Structures are given as structure tokens and as C-alpha cells.
Chains A and B, each alone.
Chain A
Amino acid sequence: MKRILTAGAVSFLSTVAATAEVLPEDIVFGEYGEVEVSLSGVAGDPVSGEALMVARGKGNCLACHQVTALEQHPFHGEVGPSLDGVADRWSEAELRGIVVNAKMTYEGTVMPAFYKVSGFYRPGDAYTGKAAVMPLSPLLTAQEIEDIVAYLLTLSD
């Protein structure tokens, strides 16, 4: 439901057709886990990306990462590295790959894959503890990933 609505909104708002959206199953990773092609075909919005990074029901990236630019939001996690200066360390394609499925960049990492819909053990229906209703939706939509990548690209020292 959610996915269809989002895809609908994208084609309505932009001149780019919804068919430009790359589905989770169709992602092509480079040798080091990078993803070259925009998932939505629409430029990411860093302001929306910032909100998605913070929101607990969305990226909740702060659960694991410290970001100095987001210091006004309390409680940054320590499970992953600080994201300060991340735009100097990684290209746009590499950052997209890490957010889509960090396991393609870091084997066995604890960082969840935000744009993946299969290959999970006992997937649940969100946070209810009940079995998932198939098909699964990715944790973030194509456009939400693009927005987050756009925000990450602002994090340079």
C-alpha cells in the first residue's frame, strides 16, 4: 500500500515517470558495494534527509551513529562510527550503496539494509512481533534513500 502510494506521488510530482524507480530486487552493486544509479530518478532533498536520519520510525541513524551537525537532537548512538566528514571519505555512489545494503560494503556489519526486501530470517510485521505480511516493504523508500544520501553529502569537514 505504502509503496504504491509513494510511487504514485513521485510520478505525479515530477516529470520523471515512476518507472524510473529501481526496485530493491533490481539494484546493481559495484565491486565494492557502491550503487551508481539514483533509486528514484529524482534529486535527493537534504532537508528531508536530515529529518529521516533523526526519526525513530524511519532511518533512526542516530541510534548507532554520532553526527555533530545533529547535536540539537539528544541521544546519539555509539554502535557505528561518527558520520562527521563522511562525504570526504565516500562518493555519492558509495554512500548510496552503504545505505541500501551496508553488507555489500562491510561484510557481516550490524548496520541494517534499508532497501532490501528478501533474505531475512523470521521477518516481522513492523514492530508487532507477528509474522510479516508478504511482500515486505523496504525500511526506506527509494526517494527517502536519495534524500538521506543528499544529506550525507553535506557532511564534509
Chain B
Amino acid sequence: MYMKTLIKSGVAVIALLAAGPVAADEDADLIINDEIEITVRAEAPAHVDGLRTIYSGWVFRADETQALQMDDFENPAMLFADEAREKWTRVEGSAEKSCADCHGEPESLADARGTYPKWNDQAQEVRTLAMQVNGCRTEQMGAEAWKYDSAELLNMEALLSSVARGNPVNVAIDGPVAATFELGKEIYYSRFGQLDLSCANCHEENYGNNIRADHLSQGQINGFPTYRLKNARLNGAQTRFRGCIRDTRAETYAVGSEEFIALELYVASRGNGLSVEGPSVRN
């Protein structure tokens, strides 16, 4: 798990093994490219009873991991956003259109990432950003939908996050999404599996604590998609939920399921007030 950081500074190897998990500077501030100021701690939204302050997962990462995200040339996730930028102008599907034909530059969608998942009136459904990208592909372009959390889709989400960095997460929780919000909240506080643990047990009651070698964060998703040093690729939020539920020795839900859409909306809303930070780097 520490491979990448270890290679960077061979000296640290011995220190790490002897001293336990890598230290995190929990008071650090995040400014990307000396330019984009990221809100990594904020007052908890009123609808989150269990927290007073919300923190980005970046706060809990080791100094070396934190540093990778402070400069786009160091951030491996940006390569994936760049791949999507190339596809942005590529004509696909029966309507012979590209993303650029309807949206101009990706930067014009800077307000999108922080407000998803959200209600889509025309489709009469809650859509994650992934679903909306696929909505554009199937409904506007006459192209095929990309598979949920596939590389193509995550690359596009990385691009849409990168242009939104610094903007606030501001996910609506009432009106037509109220029932989805409630379902997500119920899942968040349900204890799963043979280990009988809820999201809240780890990420609300124990953030800041180590669980074996892992330094628990609040499990926020403002940094998604996230490049993990562990698997060296982009990871989607719902795939992460799946991993966490699996680790409680539980039967998970499927990525793209109604339950995970609801959980994504609920977890995203727990980060209202943080900045969009993706694509981020985690271990």
C-alpha cells in the first residue's frame, strides 16, 4: 500500500515499519497548483447530526500522498482527466455529435460535479453524474452507455471534477429527492454483515482513529473519482461503497443499484460545504 511513497524516499521504509501507520498532517491546507483553494474542513451541514465539522479524506492521508494532489503534474489522476478531454470533441453515435457540440469547453460544466446526484425532471429520476453522462450519450448522441465505474466513465467524471475543483459541494436533499435521501441515510446507519458494522461506526464514530494500518477518514466523496496508490487507477464512489460493505462480511449491493444511488446522494450531501476536490489521490 505504501509502495509509491516508499519508492520516493527509501529512508522512510524503516521508519514506517517501526513507527506504525504513516503520519498525517491533519491541520494542512490544500491549495492545488498554488492557485485553486480547496475547502477541506467546514462546519457540518445541519442535516448531519453526528458531526460538527466535516473533513475531506485528503486531511487524513500521509504527507507524501497529500503532496501528490497539490500539483497537477504530480497527480496521476490528471492523466485520466486528460484522456477524457481528448474524447470530449470526438463525434460518436447516430446523432454524429460530440460532448463539445452541446457543451463547448468542459469548463462550462464547472457547476455540475458539486450538485450531483440530483433530480432529473425529464427522466423523473435521481441521476448520479455517471448516469447523466450516460443520459447524454444515449439520449443526445445516440451512442451506447458506458458501463458504470468503467474506465471511460470514470475518466469523464475525473474531467468534470477537475474543472469543478474549488466549487462547493451543494447537493439538494429535499423536494423530489427526499425519499432517495431517506433511503441513503437508512443504509448509512444500518449495521451490515457478520461484523455488524455501519458506515457510521467507522466514518462518523471513529474517523481519525486507526483501524489496524488504516487511518479512518469520514468517508467523504468530494474527492471522487479517486486515484488509489493501492491499485494505481481511478476508483468510483460506488465501487468504494461496495468494498467497505464487503469488508463487513456482508452481501453488498450492485454498483449502479437503486440503493447505491441513494447512498451516493446521502454521502455526497454529508459533504455539503467542502470543495469539489476530485480527481484526488488516496492510498
Contact = CB atoms under 8 A, between A and B. Distances in A.
Partners in one complex: yes
Interface of A: 56, 60, 62-64, 74-79, 110, 112-113, 120-132, 136, 139
Contacts of B249: 123-124, 126-127
Given A124-B246, A124-B249, A129-B245, A75 B213 contact: yes
Contact of B211 (A64, A120, A130, A131): A64
Contacts of B194: 112, 120, 123-124, 132, 136, 139
Contacts of B18: 74
Contact of A120 (B196, B205, B245, B247): B196
A77 B192 contact: no
Contact of B17 (A63, A74, A110, A139): A74
Secondary structure type dominating chain B contacts: loop
A79 B213 CA distance: 12
Nearest to B249: A124
User: What DSSP secondary structure best describes chain A's contact surface?
Assistant: loop
B212 interface: yes
Contacts, number: 85
B228 interface: no
User: Chain B: interface residue count, which band?
Assistant: 20 to 34
A150 B189 CA distance: 35
Interface of B: 17-18, 20-21, 190-197, 201-202, 205-206, 209-213, 242, 245-252
A127 B247 contact: yes
Contacts of A136: 194
Contacts of A128: 246
Contacts of A74: 17-18, 20, 213
A131 B251 contact: yes
B20 to A, nearest CB: 6
B197 to A, nearest CB: 6
B193 A123 contact: yes
Nearest to B252: A129
